[in-house]
Structure 1
Amino acid sequence: MRQLVTSVLGLLLATTLQAESLPTPVWLPATSQAAAWIEGDASVAFARHGTAAAGHAAQALSTGANEWALRLQAQRRQLQDGSSPSREWQAHLERPVRVNGKAALDSQLGDVERELARALLGEARHESARALADLWIAELAARHRESLAASQVALADSNLAAVQKRRRAGDASLLDEQQAQAEAGDTRRELILARSALTKARAALRARFGAEVPAEAMLGDIGEPALVETAWHARVMEEADGIKARQAELRRARLTAARARADRVADPVVGAFIASEARGSERLLGLSLTLPLGGTHREQRSLQLAREADMSESALEQMRREVDLQARETWADAQGARERWLLSRETSRLATESARLAQRAYTLGESDLQTLLLARRQAALGSAAALDAQAEALRWEARLLIDAHQVWDLEHD
C-alpha cells in the first residue's frame, strides 16, 4: 500500500514539474523582456484584437439578432352614407422570439468564439516566440562570426609582417610574401562578409521586435533536454495551440449545426398593437402572433452544416497528426544537431591545435609557409563549422523549450 501511494505521489510530482516553466537559458532574453517583445509583435497584436472582437461577437450572439420593430399604418375610409371620411391608424410593436433552445445554443457559440480567439492568440504568441529565438540566436552567431573573422585578420597580418621581415633577412621568398598577402586579403574579405551578416541580423531583429541584443550576451553550451522524449512529446501535444484552435473550430461547427437543426422550427413573431377607427370613436388593443413556416431551405442548410462539422472533425485529426509528426521531427533534429555540435567542436579543437603546431614549426624553420597557411585555413573552416553547428543546436534547443511552452510564460497561453 505504501509503495502504491509513493508511486502515485511520484507521478503527480512529475506531472507538476513538467507543467512548470523552466529557468530561461542565459543565451536567450529574460522572460520579462521576451514577453514584452512578443506582445508587441504585429502578429500577436493582430490576434489580440481578434480576442476583443470575439468578446463582442459572443455578447452579440448571447443577446440575439432579434430586435423590436415598430410598424405604423394609416388609412382613410370613405363611407357610402355621404358622411365625412374616417381617418384611421394602427401601430404595431413586434419582435421575433427565439424558441427550441436557440438562445442557449447562441450563448454556447459565443463561449466557443472566445475560446477559439484565445487559441489563435496562443498560436500567434508561439510562432512569435519561435521567430524571436531564431533571430536572437542568429545575431549572436553573426557577432561571434565577426569576432572569429577579426581574429583571423589579426593572425594573417601578424604572419604577413613576419614573412616580410624574414624576406628582408633573406629567409623567405617573394612567393611566400605574396601568399601571405593573399591570405591577409582573404581574411579581410571574410571580415567584410561577417560584418554585413551581423548588420542584417541586427536589422531583422530590430525590425520585427524592436529588440537589441546586449553586448555581454553570447552563445551558450547545449545541454540535455529537461524532459525525456515521451514526456516532452506528450506536453507538446497537450500545449499545441493549433490543436486547441481546431478543437474550438470543431465545437463551433457542431454547435452551428445544432443551431441550424433548431432553426428548422422558425422563430414566431409576437407583438402588440393599438388602432383607432370610426372617426376615433373606436380604440382597438390586441396581440399578434406570426408563425413562419420552415421549408426546404432550412432543411438543406441544416444538412450542409452537419457535413461541415464532419469536415472540422477530419481537420482536427489531420492537425493532430501534423503536430505529432512535427514534434517527432523536432526531437530528432534537436538530438542530431547536438551530436553534430559536439563533433564539430572537437574537430575544431584539433584543427586549432594543428595550426598552433604548424605555426611553431614554421617559426623554428621546420616547415614551409604553405603548410602553415593550409593548417590555418583548416582551423578557420573548423571554427566556422563549429559555430554554425552550435547556433543550429541552440535553435533546436530553443524550439524544444518553446514548443513545450516551458519558457517565457508560454505555459499560461
Structure 2
Amino acid sequence: MSVMRTLLSVILLYLPALLAHATADLPPHIQVDRALDEHVSVLNARSQLQIEHSEQRKRESGDYEFTVHGALYRDRLLENGDDVDYRDWEVAIERPFRLPNKMWIDSEIGEAGVERGRNKLGDARHETSRLLLQLWFDWQREQAQAAQWQQQVEILRQQATITEKRIRAGDAPRMELNQINAAAAMSGVSLRQAQLRTELAADQLQRQFKAIKLPAAITPVEPQSIEQPLSFWRGAVLEHNHELGLAKSEAVFQNRLAARASADRLPDPTLGLRYASQLNNRQKIGGIYFSIPLGYSARSASADSASHTAVIAADREQALRIRLEGDIFSAYTRAVSTFQIWQQARDASSALHQNAELVARAYSLGESSLDATLIARRQSLEAALAENTARLDANEARYRLQLDAHQLWTGDNDRHQEH
C-alpha cells in the first residue's frame, strides 16, 4: 500500500510538468484567451449576440402599439329653411392584439435567435483559434529554418578553419578555401532570406493577435502519436462543433419563423375605444369597435415562402454534416500520417547527420575530399530542415485535431459564450 501511495505521489508531482512540456511549443493559455477575446471576429460575434438578446426582448413584448385618433368636424344642416353649423369632434384609441399562439411562437423565435447568437460566438472563437494556430506554426516554421541556416553558416565557418589549417600544412590547395567560403556565403544568403520570412510571419501574427508575445526561442516538442481511433475523434468533434450547432439553431429559427408565418394566415384583430361629441355637445357617442384584415393571398404566399426557407435551412444542416465528416477524416488522417512522416524524417536526419560528421572527420584527417564533405553537409542540412518541417507539421496537425475536438484552448470556453 505504501508503494502505491509513493508511486501516486510521484505521478501527481510530475504530472503538471509533463502536461506543460506537452504544449511547450504553444503560447501561454492566458495570452491565447486574451488574444481571442480581443480579435475583431469575436468582438463582432459578441455584439451580434447582444443584438439577438435585444430582438428577443422585442419579440417578447411585441411591436404592437396603441394608436390615438382625433378628429374635428363641421356639420352644416338645414333647419327650418336656415343653415345651422355644428361643431363635432371625436377621439379614439386602438391597439392590435396578438393571438395567444403567436405570442408563444414569438417567444420560441426569440430563444432560437439567442441560441443562434451563442453558436455564432462559439464558432467565431473557434475559427479565430484555428487562425491563431495556423499563424503561430507558420512563424515557427520560418524561425526553425532560420535557426537551421544559422547553424549551417557556423558549421561552414568551422569547416573553413579546418581547411585553413590543412592549407598551412600543405595538405590542401587554396582553392578549397575559396570553395568553402563561397558555400558559407550562399548559406548566409539563405539565412537572410529565412530571417526575412520570419519577420514577415511574426508581423502577420502580431497584427492579428496583439496579446501574443513571441518568445526568443521555443522548446522543441516531439510529436505524439494519435492513440484514439477515428470514431472517437468523430464523436468528440461533432459533439462540440459550433458550426454544426449554428446550423441546427438556424434551422430551428427558420422553422419557428415558418410557424409564425403560418399563424399569420389568421390576422390579429384590432380593438378600439371611441368617444364622439356631435351637434354642439347635444349628442354623445361612446363605444367599442374592432377590425380585422380580410386579405389572404399575400399571407398565404408569405407562409409558403417561410416554409421553403425552413426546408432549405434543414437541408443545409444535413449538407454541413456530410462536409464535417470529410473534414474530420482529413484532420485525423493528416495527424496520423504527419506523425509517421516525422518519424521517417527524424531517422533520415539522424543518419545523414552522423554521415556528415564522419565525412568531416575524414576530411580533417585528409581521408576525404572537400566536395564530399560539402555534399554530406548539404544533405545533412536538407534532412534537418525536412525533419523540422515534419515535426512542426505533425504537432500542428495534432493540435488542430485537439482544437476541433475542444481539447485545446477550451478551459474558459464556456465563460465566453456570453459577456
After TM superposition, the score normalised by the length of structure 1 is 0.91
Distance 1:306 1:318 in 2: 19
Distance 1:38 1:374 in 2: 46
Residue 72 of structure 1, aligned match among 70, 73, 76? 70
Matched to 1:116, the amino acid is R
Unmatched runs of 5 consecutive residues or more in structure 2: 1-18
SS at match of 1:101: helix
Match of 2:314 in 1: 313
Distance 1:326 1:371 in 2: 46
SS at match of 2:140: helix
Match of 1:351 in 2: 352
Q: Following TM superposition, by how much is the alpha carbon of 1:284 offset from its aligned partner in structure 2, in angstroms?
A: 2.1
Deviation track 1:212-270 (CA, whole Å, cap 9, x = no partner) reads 22235333111133643222210101111111111111111111111111100011111
2:111 matched to 1:111? yes
Q: Following TM superposition, by how much is the alpha carbon of 1:30 offset from its aligned partner in structure 2, in angstroms?
A: 2.8
Distance 1:248 1:117 in 2: 9
Which shifted more, 219-228 or 229-238? 219-228
SS at match of 2:91: strand
Match of 1:140 in 2: 140
Distance 1:341 1:37 in 2: 30
Which shifted more, 224-233 or 60-69? 224-233
Q: Following TM superposition, by how much is the alpha carbon of 1:324 offset from its aligned partner in structure 2, in angstroms?
A: 0.9
Asked whether the equivalents of residues 143 and 198 of structure 1 are also in contact (C-alpha less than 8 Å), the reply is yes
Asked whether the equivalents of residues 260 and 305 of structure 1 are also in contact (C-alpha less than 8 Å), the reply is yes
Which shifted more, 394-403 or 138-147? 138-147
% identical aligned pairs: 27
Unmatched runs of 5 consecutive residues or more in structure 1: 1-21
SS at match of 1:61: helix
Which shifted more, 138-147 or 256-265? 138-147
Match of 2:4 in 1: none
2:361 matched to 1:363? no
SS at match of 2:95: strand
Distance 1:201 1:91 in 2: 72
Asked whether the equivalents of residues 140 and 218 of structure 1 are also in contact (C-alpha less than 8 Å), the reply is no
SS at match of 2:214: coil
Asked whether the equivalents of residues 138 and 391 of structure 1 are also in contact (C-alpha less than 8 Å), the reply is no
Which shifted more, 115-124 or 156-165? 156-165
Q: Following TM superposition, by how much is the alpha carbon of 1:148 offset from its aligned partner in structure 2, in angstroms?
A: 1.4
2:184 matched to 1:184? yes
SS at match of 1:80: strand
Match of 1:379 in 2: 380
Asked whether the equivalents of residues 341 and 390 of structure 2 are also in contact (C-alpha less than 8 Å), the reply is yes
Residue 27 of structure 1, aligned match among 7, 19, 25? 25
Asked whether the equivalents of residues 70 and 91 of structure 1 are also in contact (C-alpha less than 8 Å), the reply is yes
Asked whether the equivalents of residues 78 and 84 of structure 2 are also in contact (C-alpha less than 8 Å), the reply is no
Match of 1:18 in 2: none
Asked whether the equivalents of residues 31 and 407 of structure 1 are also in contact (C-alpha less than 8 Å), the reply is no
Query: How many residue pairs end up in the alignment?
Result: 392
Asked whether the equivalents of residues 202 and 212 of structure 1 are also in contact (C-alpha less than 8 Å), the reply is no
Match of 1:262 in 2: 263
After TM superposition, the score normalised by the length of structure 2 is 0.90
Q: Following TM superposition, by how much is the alpha carbon of 1:283 offset from its aligned partner in structure 2, in angstroms?
A: 2.6
Matched to 2:278, the amino acid is E
Residue 52 of structure 2, aligned match among 47, 50, 54? 54
Match of 2:195 in 1: 195
Asked whether the equivalents of residues 226 and 335 of structure 2 are also in contact (C-alpha less than 8 Å), the reply is no
Asked whether the equivalents of residues 31 and 409 of structure 1 are also in contact (C-alpha less than 8 Å), the reply is no
Distance 2:252 2:120 in 1: 15
Asked whether the equivalents of residues 226 and 336 of structure 2 are also in contact (C-alpha less than 8 Å), the reply is no
Cα 1:198/1:64, change in 2 over 3 Å: same
Matched to 2:181, the amino acid is Q
Q: Following TM superposition, by how much is the alpha carbon of 1:178 offset from its aligned partner in structure 2, in angstroms?
A: 2.3
Distance 2:60 2:364 in 1: 86
Distance 2:227 2:68 in 1: 67
Matches within 5 A, 1:114-129: 114-129=114-129
Asked whether the equivalents of residues 96 and 270 of structure 1 are also in contact (C-alpha less than 8 Å), the reply is yes
Distance 2:167 2:355 in 1: 25
Distance 1:74 1:224 in 2: 86
Match of 1:10 in 2: none
Matched to 1:69, the amino acid is T
Cα 1:219/1:277, change in 2 over 3 Å: farther
Distance 2:119 2:225 in 1: 30
Match of 1:98 in 2: 98
Asked whether the equivalents of residues 270 and 290 of structure 2 are also in contact (C-alpha less than 8 Å), the reply is yes
Deviation track 1:339-385 (CA, whole Å, cap 9, x = no partner) reads 11111111111111111001100011111100100000000000100
Asked whether the equivalents of residues 140 and 219 of structure 1 are also in contact (C-alpha less than 8 Å), the reply is no
Matches within 5 A, 1:146-161: 146-161=146-161
Matches within 5 A, 1:217-228: 217-225=218-226, 227-228=228-229
Distance 1:173 1:238 in 2: 69
Residue 40 of structure 1, aligned match among 38, 41, 46? 38
Task: Report runs of 4+ in structure 1 exceeding 6 Å deviation.
Answer: none
SS at match of 1:85: strand
